[in-house]
Structure 1
Amino acid sequence: MAPRAAVPRPTESELAILGVLWDLGEATVREVHEALYGEDGGYTTALKMLQVMHAKGLVRRDERQRAHVYKAAISKSATQKRATAELVQRLFDGRPAELVMRALGSDKSPSAEELSQIRELLDRIEHGRRHD
């Protein structure tokens, strides 16, 4: 069996559509169009984008109904992980700590809840290292 081709990195426009699909779970072209553009134009743009994304393997399409229903073929988590890894490699010389320090030192400080989540993650990482 031939190896499965890697799914390409989504463009900004594709990420916007994926965001709608991640939020809704699945959606018709009309639902994606309304979520992105409201009542304004853009239906054919949404249709064409979803067709292109289907050809690329970014979305799945259920053709059993009159209005095709689309669903993300890639998870939000996997997409975030891939984008973060690429960002760390390109801008932070492959050092994730540099990214974290830059993000925490930005103009917008993390909330108390976010700091708590960061501490929990650091504790899990440190605990895992002690048991290696």
Structure 2
Amino acid sequence: MKNELTKAELEILRMLWKLGSSTVRQVNDAINEEREVNYTSTLKLMQIMHEKGILQRDASQMKHVYKPAEAEDKTKESLLDNFVDTIYDGSPSKLVMQLMGGRKTSKQDLDAIKDMLRKLDGQ
């Protein structure tokens, strides 16, 4: 997986994660529920993503079916690792401090974070 994806590529991946294996038409229709995009633009981008190895394509039927080449969790982990390395000098704590300092965090989220920290501390 390439560590840098365009906004449009991420949008297509997000739709495929949501829908599962899908045709270009299905992906395009889902994107059009959020914003207007031409079918040909979605088609071309999905073809490019296939060439780059981001998507896999089943061409055994008339309508090609696409799916992400990597699992959602693996892709997100790779993108996040690259982001932390690039923006926060590889320091997850700097990222967390930035997130916690700039947003109102719910008690439920804080409890989940505390539970995660307790589990990590117990390793």
**TM-score with structure 1 length normalisation?**
0.83
Q: How does 1:14-93 map to 2 (within 5 A)?
A: 14-38=9-33, 40-93=36-89
Is residue 110 from structure 1 mapped to residue 96 from structure 2 by the alignment?
no
Larger Rg: 1
Aligned with 1:48: secondary structure? helix
Deviates more, 1:13-22 or 1:64-73: 64-73
**Inter-partner Cα distance in structure 2 for 1:88 and 1:33:** 31
Match of 2:7 in 1: 12
Instruction: Give the Å deviation of 1:79.
Output: 1.9
Amino acid at match of 1:75: A
Q: CA deviation at 1:75?
A: 2.0
Partner in structure 2 of residue 125 of structure 1: 120
Query: Counterpart of 1:97?
Result: 93
More deviation, 88-97/45-54? 88-97
Paired AA for residue 90 in structure 2 = G
Amino acid across the alignment from 1:101: M
Mark the runs of 5 or more structure 1 residues left unpaired by the alignment. 1-6
Identity %: 36
Partner of 1:4: none
Shift of the alpha carbon at 1:80? Answer: 1.7
Deviations 1:83-114 (A, max 9, x none): 221222222222110100110111x3222222
Determine helix, strand or coil for the equivalent of 2:26: helix
Report the number of matched residues. 121
In 2 relative to 1, CA 126–63 (structure 1 residues): closer, same or farther, beyond 3 Å?
Answer: same
Task: Tell me how far apart the structure 1 counterparts of residues 6 and 45 of structure 2 sit (CA, whole Å).
Answer: 11
Bigger relative contact order, structure 1 or 2 (CA pairs below 8 A, ≥6 apart): 2
Amino acid at match of 1:105: G
Instruction: List structure 1 segments (4+ residues) > 4 angstroms apart after TM superposition.
Output: 38-41
Query: What's the Cα RMSD here?
Result: 1.7
Structure 2 length-normalised TM? 0.89
| 1:40, distance to aligned residue in structure 2 (A) | 4.5
